[in-house]
Amino acid sequence: MESIEIFKKLWTEPIVNYQGKHYKLVDCQLSPKPVQKPHPPIWVGAMGTKMLSILKYVDGWLPPSIRVEDIAENISFAEGVAKQRGRPIEIGLECYTNIAPTLEQAVDESRDAIEQYMGKPVETVMANGVPIRLAPGIAKRFGVVIGGPDECIAGIEKYVKAGVKQFVLHFFPNEAAAKGLKLYAEKVIPYVKENYG
């Protein structure tokens, strides 16, 4: 929380003096100031109720690529925080994905990268997700959106319906990013824009 407060001060005040529990600033300046006013939006990537308590201080939440089922309860929590503070919180998602002309191609292309990164076969990740422990008693599952254009549209659409408004796409494998972005731009993004604004 202190670091967020410090950044906001540095972005909006000419000279900052700050004494907190963890940080101390004396006659500190930051130039040039950001163009966005009052300051750039502050996003946080966090999971678990304790970490999500920071949402009251930020503008957006960008969790890791968790399954739709797991993100829904956290979106409800974020919406409750937004209601308490009287202004919305943007919801994003780091989306692990691969898109190819067909489902089979997308699965084959991403197989090695998914298994290396997540330690499970791509089919297991697609069906059940991969468990991640966040803290005692808190577990979520990574999710992926892998397939041809139709499967990726359906996967992204589920997240949009759950309340996700922004996506950061991480392609598996990384080498598929240029091709994947092209297919997303041609097939997935126009569909989402047309149907969800």
Residue type, 183: L
pLDDT at site 81 = 85
Q: What is the token pair recorded at 83?
A: 């209601």
Measured CA to CA, the distance from residue 133 to residue 118 in angstroms comes to 13
Lowest mean pLDDT, pick from 48-52, 98-102, 105-109: 48-52
What value does the mean pLDDT take over residues 73-100? 89
Q: What contacts 170, CB < 8 A, 6 or more positions away?
A: 65, 94, 95, 96, 97
Check pLDDT > 70 for residue 137.
no
Q: What is the 3-state secondary structure (H, E, C) of the chain?
A: CHHHHHHHHHHHCCCEEEECCCCEEEEECCCCCCCCCCCCCCEECCCCHHHHHHHHHCCEECCCCECHHHHHHHHHHHHHHHHHHCCCCEEEEEEEEEECCCHHHHHHHHHHHHHHHHCCCHHHHHHHCEEEEEECCEEEEECEEEECHHHHHHHHHHHHHHCCCEEEEEECCHHHHHHHHHHHHHHHHHHHHHHHC
Q: Tell me the percentage of the chain whose pLDDT exceeds 90.
A: 65
Which class is domain 41-196?
alpha beta
- Is there a contact between 27 and 9 (Cβ–Cβ < 8 Å)? no
Which residue did the predictor score with more confidence, 7 or 49? 7
Q: List the domain boundaries for the chain.
A: 1-40, 41-196
pLDDT at site 15 = 97
Give the model confidence (pLDDT) of 151-175 as tens digits.
Answer: 999 999 999 999 999 999 999 999 9
